[in-house]
C-alpha cells in the first residue's frame, strides 16, 4: 500500500463542486451529533449517511474498507472493553460456570456494554470518514477562500490549509523511508508487532527532520514573496462569491436538523438511550 492510498483522493464531481461552507456544515453535524446521541440506531443511520455520501462522491469500496481497517483493531478493543466493564451493563451475554474457582458465576460481557461499544465505534468512524470526504474533495485554495469568506483571518485560514497539505507529504516521506529500509534488506511488513513498533519509532527521527526541513523551506518561500497575511489580496481562481439556492437550502436544512436534534435530546431525551 502506497502513501497516497491511505488518503481518499476522490474524482471531481458534484460533491467536489459544492462550496466549502456547505461542507463545513456537514462537518459540524458529523462532529457534534455523535455526542448528542447515545442511540445505536441514530448513530448507525448517521454513519450510513456519511458512507452513502462517500460512495456517491466516487469512493471505491476497497478504499473505504482500507480506511475502516486502519481503525478496526482499536474499534474491536473498544467494544470488548465496554462489553466487559461498562457501567451501563445489566443483562449478561453469558455467565461462567459456578464451579469455576474465583471466576465462577461471573457475568462475561453485557448486552448494554456491547451496544454502547458499537456506539463509541460509530463516534470514531463518522468524523473520520466525514473529514476524509470533505478535505479530499476540496482544493486547498477553496479551503482558504471558504474560511476567509466566513471572516476567518487569512493567516489562520492559510495555516489550516497548509496543515492538510502536509498530511500526504508526511505519508509520502514515511513511505520513502520504508522503501529505503527495504533496499537495505529490512522489510518492516515481515516484522512482528513489537519489533515493528520499535523500528517505526526509530524511523520518526528522519521523518521529523524531513518535515522540519520542508517547513523551513516553506517559511523561506513565504518570506521571499513578502507574505504579510493581509486579507486584501486577489485570487487566481476566486470561484463563486455567493452560494447557490441549493447550497443555501442545504445549509439551512442541516442547521435546522442540528438544532432540532439538540432540542429533542435536551427537552424530550430522544436519542439518549442505547436502543
Burial (CB count <10 Å: 0-12, 13-18, 19+), residue 192: exposed
Q: Could you report the per-residue pLDDT of 48-87, keeping only the tens digit for each?
A: 999 998 888 888 888 888 888 888 888 999 988 888 887 7
For position 271, what pLDDT does the model report? 84
Q: Is residue 251 part of a domain?
A: no
pLDDT at 244 over 90: no
Asked if residue 224 and residue 92 are part of one domain, the reply reads: no
Q: Is residue 270 part of a domain?
A: no
Burial (CB count <10 Å: 0-12, 13-18, 19+), residue 222: middle
Asked if residue 14 and residue 125 are part of one domain, the reply reads: yes
Asked if residue 129 and residue 1 are part of one domain, the reply reads: yes
Asked if residue 178 and residue 118 are part of one domain, the reply reads: no
Asked if residue 165 and residue 84 are part of one domain, the reply reads: no
Asked if residue 175 and residue 106 are part of one domain, the reply reads: no
Instruction: Give the HSE-up count for residue 142: Cα atoms under 13 Å, Cβ half-sphere.
Output: 17
Measured CA to CA, the distance from residue 94 to residue 163 in angstroms comes to 48
pLDDT at 268 over 80: yes
The pTM assigned to this predicted structure is 0.71
CB atoms within 10 A of CB 258: 16
Measured CA to CA, the distance from residue 110 to residue 50 in angstroms comes to 29
| Element at 109 (helix H, strand E) | strand 107-110
Considering 36-50, 130-144, 230-244, the range whose residues carry the highest mean pLDDT is: 36-50
How many domains are there within the chain?
A: 2
Asked if residue 35 and residue 96 are part of one domain, the reply reads: yes
Asked if residue 96 and residue 45 are part of one domain, the reply reads: yes
Of 237 and 88, which is predicted with more confidence? 88
Measured in degrees and rounded to the nearest 5, phi and psi for residue 94 equal -155, 160
Q: Is residue 50 part of a domain?
A: yes
Q: Is residue 124 part of a domain?
A: yes
pLDDT at 231 over 70: no
Structure confidence at residue 258 as a pLDDT band (50, 70, 90): very high
Asked if residue 159 and residue 133 are part of one domain, the reply reads: no
Q: Which residue in 167, 144, 164 sits closest to 156, CA to CA? A: 144
Output DSSP code: residue 10. P
Asked if residue 208 and residue 163 are part of one domain, the reply reads: yes
Q: Is residue 102 part of a domain?
A: yes
Asked if residue 30 and residue 102 are part of one domain, the reply reads: yes
Mean pLDDT confidence for 127-153: 82
Q: Is residue 238 part of a domain?
A: no
Of 221 and 34, which is predicted with more confidence? 34
Asked if residue 89 and residue 205 are part of one domain, the reply reads: no
Structural domain span for residue 91: 1-138
Show the cell assigned to 46.
448517521
Q: Is residue 15 part of a domain?
A: yes
Q: Is residue 260 part of a domain?
A: no
Amino acid at each position: 500500500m502506497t502513501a497516497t492510498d491511505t488518503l481518499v483522493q476522490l474524482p471531481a464531481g458534484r460533491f467536489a463542486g459544492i462550496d466549502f461552507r456547505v461542507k463545513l456544515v456537514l462537518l459540524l453535524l458529523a462532529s457534534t451529533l455523535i455526542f448528542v446521541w447515545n442511540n445505536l440506531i441514530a448513530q448507525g443511520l448517521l454513519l450510513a449517511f456519511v458512507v452513502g455520501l462517500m460512495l456517491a462522491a466516487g469512493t471505491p469500496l476497497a478504499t473505504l474498507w482500507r480506511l475502516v481497517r486502519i481503525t478496526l483493531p482499536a474499534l474491536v478493543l473498544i467494544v470488548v472493553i465496554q462489553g466487559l466493564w461498562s457501567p451501563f451493563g445489566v443483562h449478561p451475554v453469558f455467565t461462567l460456570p459456578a464451579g469455576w474457582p474465583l471466576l465462577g458465576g461471573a457475568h462475561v460481557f453485557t448486552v448494554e456494554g456491547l451496544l454502547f461499544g458499537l456506539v463509541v465505534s460509530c463516534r470514531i468512524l463518522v468524523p473520520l470518514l466525514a473529514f476524509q470526504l470533505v478535505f479530499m474533495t476540496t482544493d486547498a485554495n477553496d479551503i482558504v477562500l471558504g474560511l476567509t469568506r466566513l471572516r476567518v483571518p487569512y493567516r489562520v485560514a492559510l495555516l489550516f490549509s497548509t496543515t492538510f497539505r502536509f498530511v500526504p507529504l508526511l505519508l509520502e516521506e514515511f513511505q520513502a523511508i520504508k522503501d529505503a529500509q527495504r533496499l537495505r534488506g529490512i522489510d518492516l511488513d515481515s516484522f512482528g508487532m513489537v519489533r515493528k513498533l520499535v523500528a517505526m519509532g526509530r524511523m520518526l527521527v528522519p521523518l521529523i527532520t524531513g518535515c522540519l526541513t520542508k517547513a523551513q523551506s516553506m517559511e523561506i518561500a513565504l518570506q521571499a514573496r513578502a507574505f504579510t497575511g493581509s486579507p486584501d489580496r486577489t485570487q487566481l481562481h476566486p470561484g463563486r462569491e455567493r452560494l447557490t439556492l441549493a447550497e443555501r437550502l442545504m445549509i439551512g436544512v442541516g442547521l435546522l436538523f442540528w438544532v432540532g436534534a439538540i432540542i429533542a435530546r435536551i427537552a424530550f431525551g430522544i436519542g439518549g438511550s442505547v436502543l
